[in-house]
Amino acid sequence: ARAALTDVLAAAQQARSGLGAFNVIQLEHAEAIVAGAEAAGRPTVLQVSENAVRYHGALAPVGRAMLEVADAAGVPVVVHLDHATDVDLVEQALTLGFTSVMFDGSTLPVEENLATTRRVVERAHDRGASVEAEIGEIGGKDGVHAPGVRTRPEDAARFVEETGIDAVAVAVGSSHAMTTRTARLDLDLIATIRDAVPVPLVLHGSSGVPDDHLREAVSAGMTKINISTHLNGTFTRAVRDMLAADPALVDPRKYLGAARTATAQEVERLVRLLAG
Ligand code: G3H
Ligand code: ZN
């Protein structure tokens, strides 16, 4: 069933477990993510990024599909807009029935990020939806952020206090879109931010973080764990293998189905790993 981010995050935080949040590009991703979460018997987050919306040309077709898949799920599923910089897109997501949005003002001047995030929080809370926002840059996105960027605990605390957001994305050593799992997170910084900030913490760029280190990050205090590139790797490898094995194959259901199965299995594994 469709669920509120604050509810599933509060439960995860209390249990000191991690909540896997996985990016959707097309229907098969949403189906695979929910199948994996159901197999693990755990809640999850279906999220679509502003970039993926741009790829489709509109939010509604993919967004409505995500909402339908979430509503039919046997576990709680948050439907979330990821990395939105466009306030109109946030409005569209809220109108469709998304239960959560991320407003990403990390490239704006600090005061403008604060003011716009505050406005988004007001709109979202009016409709019973949650807001995640970002303070400090998380490496890799658009190729302009360096992996060495770190969020200062006092900045994160002030940002949460001044905006009323429900979850905060912090820069602690990960970097977006890594295809090797070699990132090292600053676990002491995670623990310090955790103690300084009253809302759950979000890890972006989790694809580059190896399994055991993801567990340590959750133990140190990260709660929402965003994974995209890693699952795309799983999905695409399955497509590539199937097409290579059968050059005469033309039915997309064959290779998308194989990719969906492989993705669901990896989601189940990750959801269990993060849950602890
Ligand atoms: O917002 C989405 C995540 O931060 C995904 O990052 O593709 O590096 O796993 P990733
Ligand atoms: Zn991200």
**191 within 8 A of 168, measured Cβ to Cβ:** no
Q: What is the pLDDT along the chain (276 residues), one digit of tens a residue?
A: 999 999 999 999 999 999 999 999 999 999 999 999 999 999 999 999 999 999 999 999 999 999 999 999 999 999 999 999 999 999 999 999 999 999 999 888 888 999 999 999 999 999 999 999 988 555 544 433 456 889 999 999 999 999 999 999 999 999 999 999 999 999 999 999 999 999 999 999 999 999 999 999 999 999 999 999 999 999 999 999 999 999 999 999 999 999 999 999 999 999 999 999
d(CA 226, CA 66): 17
Atom of ligand 1 nearest to the CA of 231: 9
Domain limits for position 124: 5-275
Burial degree of 181 (CB within 10 A; 0-12, 13-18, 19+):
middle
Task: State the alpha helices, DSSP H only, in the chain.
Answer: 5-14, 27-40, 50-56, 60-72, 87-96, 110-126, 153-163, 187-196, 211-220, 229-245, 252-275
For ligand 2, a single-atom ion, which residues have Cβ within 5 Å? 204
Atom of ligand 1 nearest to the CA of 174: 8
Rounded to the nearest whole angstrom, what is the distance from the C-alpha of residue 242 to the centroid of ligand 2? 30
Atom of ligand 1 nearest to the CA of 208: 8
- How many structural domains comprise the chain? 1
56 is in an annotated binding site: no
Rounded to the nearest whole angstrom, what is the distance from the C-alpha of residue 248 to the centroid of ligand 2? 38
CATH code of the domain containing 126: 3.20.20.70
How many CA atoms are closer than 13 Å to the CA of 252, on its beta-carbon side? Answer: 2
CB-ligand 1 contact for 234 (6 Å cutoff) = no
Q: Which token pair is 70? A: 């979430």
176 is in an annotated binding site: yes
What ipTM does the predicted assembly reach? 0.99
- Where in the sequence numbering do the catalytic residues fall? 82
In single-letter form, the type of residue at position 54 comes to R
Q: What is the widest separation between alpha-carbon atoms in the chain?
A: 59
CB-ligand 1 contact for 207 (6 Å cutoff) = yes
